[in-house]
Structure 1
């Protein structure tokens, strides 16, 4: 049990989230279903590298990471992703973006 590999020893929750509601982001890797996306097979591609989306929710996982709910435009999927899996394209307050529920800037 002592050989459990952690994704990171850093606890992100001590800092503010990298992204905000309504931010336009790009997936910097392909994301496959790990079994938590209902209705899709394990291993099925949910998000392709380079796909664009908007942050629609911000949660946490394991009291360590922020998880960003991202609504992707091409696939139409809403997928939870870690900050390291996303690149910022445009901040929500910089204009151009859909009118999303709860997309008010903090």
Structure 2
């Protein structure tokens, strides 16, 4: 009987260690995904910023004044912000949440 109790304790200890390691692995994967996704977002934002500046200068040259092109570019972004804000609940938040859940549980699906 004592041997059975000892084996059960070993089994529980092993299960606890496995749970801890699994939790650490998920945390590290999530952190790595956040870092790499963050870097991608930073590079996209920088590229978008420079394209916006170039487009603002181009439109300013076409309009013949130094502020007109930048005003049009900022007006475009304001309209985009209003559209995104109006549609965020239906079209943006749910896919983002679903994608994050898939990333978190991707490792479990592979096993």
Same fold (TM over 0.5): no
TM-score (ref. length: structure 1): 0.19
More helix by share: 2
More strand by share: 1
Larger Rg: 1 or 2? Answer: 2
TM-score (ref. length: structure 2): 0.18
